[in-house]
Amino acid sequence: MAQHAIQSLPQVTPRRSENWLRGLSLLGFVLFWQVIAWSLDSDLLPSPTEVLVGLWAQIINGELLTHLGITLIRVLVSFLIAMLIGVALGVFMGRSKSWDAGLDGILVIGLNIPALVTIILCYIWFGLTEVAAVVAVAINKIPMVIVTVREGTRALDKHLMEVAQVYQLTRWETFRKVYLPQLYPYLVSAARNGLALIWKIVLVVELLGRSDGVGFQLGTFFQLFDILGILVYTLAFVIVILLIEAWVMRPAEAYLTRWRK
């Protein structure tokens, strides 16, 4: 049963031909943008080349990297907090019916509260602080992690746990080599979706109540109607996300699920 559940998770690694198609459509999009920008010739739509030049300038003067770094640290911290708490609660709720019954109502509320509401409430209650910012992001993410991990825990193979019991494995070994590997596909899925959500929420949090980070900068550019600045920061941010996806998430997933090939 566990086997089935694991295989039914969507396969995320793209094939080679699909990669080509992806690159082609991106190229088309950039060309389209360039043509529109040329024909409009307006400050409201800088061309891709202007954005690239702007990006280089911002990198040189160091400001972009500072803000980007601060944002990434916020992403990382809230991601780790959300994963830790989400996995723990997900495992408890997946294993114990009373935990599940006790927390399910709150979970449903958590899944449906708009991110903006949690952010505003956190800032009002805890002040415009770093802690409030990180907590707000984590709270938005935790319910999704719980749901994914709970599903994984429910699909655990009882038969393999019996093997651990008969052969008298220690609790630690059972957890690490029998229990956890069954959860890997779910953890990977939770982590991927988690990052995608957290990026976005962190920017809003920064916009509303921080005086540094990419979100704060975007807010400033908005007030100054600095479209070029907005696009430069967006581009930088997107590049970083793609790199993390390609260099951290995908290799991690490939390693953790290598036995399935």
Partner 1 sequence: MNGLTIRVENKTYQNTGTCTLKDIQLDVTPGEFVAIVGPSGAGKSTLLNMVAGLDKDFEGEITVDNAPLHVTQPLKQIGFMFQESRLMPWLTVLDNLLLVLGKEQEDKARELLRQVHLTDIENHFPGQLSGGMQRRVALARAFSVEPDLLLMDEPFMSLDAPTAEYLRGLLMDLWSETKPMVLFVTHYLREALALADRIVFLSESPAHVVLDMPVNLERPRSVEDVDVNKLHADLLHLNPHLLSGLVNGKQWNKASMTEAAS
Closest approach of partner 1 to the CB of residue 162, in Å: 5
Taking CB under 8 A as the rule, does residue 167 contact partner 1? Answer: yes
In three-state secondary structure terms, 114 is: coil
Q: Could you tell me where the DSSP H helices lie in 113-213?
A: 115-126, 130-154, 158-166, 171-173, 180-209
169 touches partner 1 (CB under 8 A):
yes
- One of 166, 171, 211, 223 touching partner 1 (CB under 8 A): 166
Q: Residue type for 224, please? A: L
User: What's the closest the beta carbon of residue 91 comes to partner 1, in angstroms?
Assistant: 18
Reference 240, options 70, 117, 42, 37; nearest CA is 70
Q: Which residues between 207 and 236 bind partner 1 (CB under 8 A)? A: none
Task: Tell me how far, at minimum, the Cβ of 71 lies from partner 1, in Å.
Answer: 35
Q: Which residue is it, tokens 């040329």?
A: 38
Listed ranges 107-115, 171-179, 195-203, 231-239: which one lies at the site for partner 1 (CB under 8 A): 171-179
Distance (Å, rounded) from C-alpha 83 to C-alpha 16?
Answer: 31
Distant-in-sequence, close-in-space partners of 9: CB < 8 Å, separation ≥ 6: 185, 186, 189
95 binds partner 1 (CB under 8 A): no
- Note the residues at the interface with partner 1 (CB under 8 A): 3, 159-160, 162-163, 165-169, 173, 177-178, 181, 184, 258-260
